[in-house]
Structure 1
């Protein structure tokens, strides 16, 4: 087995490990490691579709990890204060209900 194949197997094992995660923070952290491993594998093996996919997925995973971390910090702060739900209001989207055509 070559080093390139070993990196490919490592990257695949990391993807499998993401399916075993029970929290979103750990899932995103392992997915970021997987992205780095697949980027290395794609570069070394010349697999450009794999390389492009994980170059695109890496910033998405980082952004979602940061957003989740910020949201959890806000939740902990809210739990330590007056338990007001106002901290969550920017995360919620308004829902507009319209009657179905048959009514």
Structure 2
């Protein structure tokens, strides 16, 4: 196997990986790298159709990446109650995915706690279930984001949202239980720290 074949295999793998991405940003970035690699492969082969097509694909990816970078997402939130019809439909639609990350969460949890949907460009993308305790703790029971929007921007908005709810001079902590390694990484990135009880805590 020579180096040209290796370039071709690498390009194929990158394009294949890009098509498995649920997040559009990751898809565009990896597909761009794959297209550039394929263009290089086409150049070394002298296969100009491969070079031209993949150069064009790379340019399309650059265009959309620049567009995504310049576009500022708009966030908002709205509160619902446990008997909300929309909440019921949302939960049933995403139930299997929710339980992959929050295995202990049940529909009955909605009845006893506060529920907020985070909107991103007017699309409900994040479901938050929490309760506020008298000891200054806000316990987050569910922080579920649909797959296409798992890029930490929702989490940053979540923290700022809770900060805006706290009265000046009030000391309050966000507390969350990590459900897996990916969730731990997410909480650490949002500035949570792990306490002696294995819970993740962030002062707001």
TM-score (norm 2): 0.36
Do structure 1's residue 9 and structure 2's residue 5 form an aligned pair?
Answer: no
Structure 1 gap ranges (5+): 86-103
Secondary structure of 1:20's counterpart equals coil
Alignment of 1:1-103 (within 5 A): 1-71=1-71, 74-75=72-73, 78-79=74-75
Alpha-carbon separation, structure 2, partners of 1:3 and 1:52: 21
Highest RCO, 1 vs 2 (Cα 8 Å, sep ≥ 6): 1
Secondary structure of 2:75's counterpart equals helix
Contact 1:25 1:69 in 2 (8 A): no
Query: Partner residue of 2:160?
Result: none
Structure 2 gap ranges (5+): 77-118, 122-204
Aligned residue pair count: 78
TM-score (norm 1): 0.69
Q: CA RMSD in A?
A: 1.7
> Which structure's residues are more often strand, by fraction?
2
Following TM superposition, the consecutive aligned residue runs of length 4 or more in structure 1 with deviations greater than 6 angstroms are none
Cα distance, 1:61 vs structure 2: 0.6
* Larger Cα-atom Rg: 2
